[in-house]
Amino acid sequence: MREELPLPKAAQYLLDEARMVLPGIQALFGFQLIAVFNARFADTLSSAEQQLHLLAIALVAVAVALVMTPAAYHRLTGPREVTDTFIRLSTRLLLFSMWPLAASISIDFYIIARVILSTSIVALLAAALFAFFVLLWLVLPLLMRRTAWR
């Protein structure tokens, strides 16, 4: 049996979840930016792979924007109140942020694996990593929601 949380408690959980995700995203973003200034970046990666890395950076920037939007939204629309709209919108934004994050990590994994392994299987490995994110972040929660495992 599910129990609905009061709005202030739901908002607290939501903002705590965003606070847990954000430092990891920011660290990833920093490492992605630093990689461009490494000499091996230009020497080892093709132009297409460098552009893939740029895409990965853009995807992390999108994830950061999505994770940080609930705080900005709350500050601008009602800093002293918590509404059902805020909870629903913020939950969706946080969930949507996971997809560009998963794509970015998978793309950069592909680039790193290509440099280390120099084999054609790296695309398959990157796709498997993305599938793993989908399994953990989408399939598992949906299965748990539909079963009595709670």
Per-residue pLDDT of the chain (150 residues; tens, 9 = 90+): 567 888 889 888 888 888 888 888 999 999 999 988 988 888 889 999 999 999 999 999 999 999 999 989 988 988 888 889 999 999 999 999 999 999 999 999 999 999 899 788 999 999 999 999 999 999 999 899 888 655
Q: For 138, what's the count of Cα atoms within 13 Å in the CB-facing half-sphere?
A: 11
- DSSP single-letter state for residue 5: P
pLDDT score of 38: 86
Rounded Cα gap, residues 139 and 40, in angstroms: 38
pLDDT score of 148: 63
Rounded Cα gap, residues 3 and 5, in angstroms: 6
Prediction pTM value: 0.87
